[in-house]
Chains A and B, each alone.
Chain A
Amino acid sequence: DAKTTQPPSMDCAEGRAANLPCNHSTISGNEYVYWYRQIHSQGPQYIIHGLKNNETNEMASLIITEDRKSSTLILPHATLRDTAVYYCIALVQIQGAQKLVFGQGTRLTINP
C-alpha cells in the first residue's frame, strides 16, 4: 500500500506557482520522498526527490517538513504543459532496485 496521500485534484492559473501537498506521516527515516508526473498517455517522468533537506532543480522545488510527515512540490511558474497527474511516492529500496508504490496522485490542471 502507498504510504502517501494527496488531494485528488487541483487547479492553478498559468504563470502562477503550483503548490502540491503530500502527506507521508508513516515513512521511515531512511525512505526518500520522490515526485513523478504523468502526462496523459505517456510514461511517468521523474521530477525531484529528497530525504530531509529542501531540494531544487530546473523543474521544481521540494519542501519537506522538519518532522518529515509532509512535503510540498512547487512548480514556480506553471505552464499549460504542466497539466498532468503528479505522484508523491515513498521509495522502498530492495537491494539495488527501487520499488515505487504509486498512490492515486493529484491531477493538476493549469488554466490559461
Chain B
Amino acid sequence: DAMVIQNPRYQVTQFGKPVTLSCSQTLNHNVMYWYQQKSSQAPKLLFHYYDKDFNNEADTPDNFQSRRPNTSFCFLDIRSPGLGDAAMYLCATSRDLLTYSSYNEQFFGPGTRLTVL
C-alpha cells in the first residue's frame, strides 16, 4: 500500500560529493514537493513540480536541483553538499487544487535522512 516511497531511507555522503535522493509515488498525483527538515525544526519547502513545471522557492540555494522525468518519479540533486545540508528530506504529493479543490491533502513519504561527513 506504499503511496510515496523514498529511497534510500538513510544516505551518507562526503562533503562536496554530489548526491541524489529519489522519490516515487503510486497515487498519480500531478504535484510533487521536496521539503528539507533540519534537526528539531519544522519542514521547509524547497520546490515543487506542477506536472512538468518546476517552481523554486526564492530562498532555496542553487546547490539544490530537482528533476521529474515522469509523473511517478522525482529526484533531488545536491550538487556539492555541505555540512549544513545534513537534514531529513521529505517528498510529498498532492492532487491538482484547480481540479480537486475539495480534496487537497498532501501525502508525505517517510523521508531520507542525509548525513554529510
Contact = CB atoms under 8 A, between A and B. Distances in A.
Interface of A: 2, 36, 38, 41-46, 49, 87, 91, 93-105
Contact size range, B: 20 to 34
B44 to A, nearest CB: 7
B1 interface: no
A100 B45 contact: yes
| Most central of A44, A94, A101 by chain B CB within 10 Å | A44
A102 B42 contact: yes
B109 interface: yes
A96 B45 contact: no
Nearest to A91: B104
A96 B106 contact: no
Given A95-B50, A96-B96, 14 more contacts: A2-B42, A44-B43, A46-B105, A46-B106, A93-B97, A95-B97, A96-B31, A96-B98, A97-B48, A97-B97, A98-B104, A99-B45, A102-B43, A103-B42
A45 B108 contact: yes
A94 B56 CA distance: 12
B66 interface: no
Contact of A101 (B41, B45, B96, B98): B45
| Most central of B44, B105, B111 by chain A CB within 10 Å | B105
Contacts of A36: 106
B105 A97 contact: no
B43 A97 contact: no
24 contacts: A36-B106, A41-B111, A43-B4, A43-B92, A43-B108, A43-B111, A45-B108, A93-B97, A94-B48, A94-B50, A94-B55, A95-B50, A95-B97, A96-B30, A96-B31, A97-B31, A97-B48, A97-B50, A97-B94, A97-B97, A98-B106, A99-B45, A102-B43, A104-B41
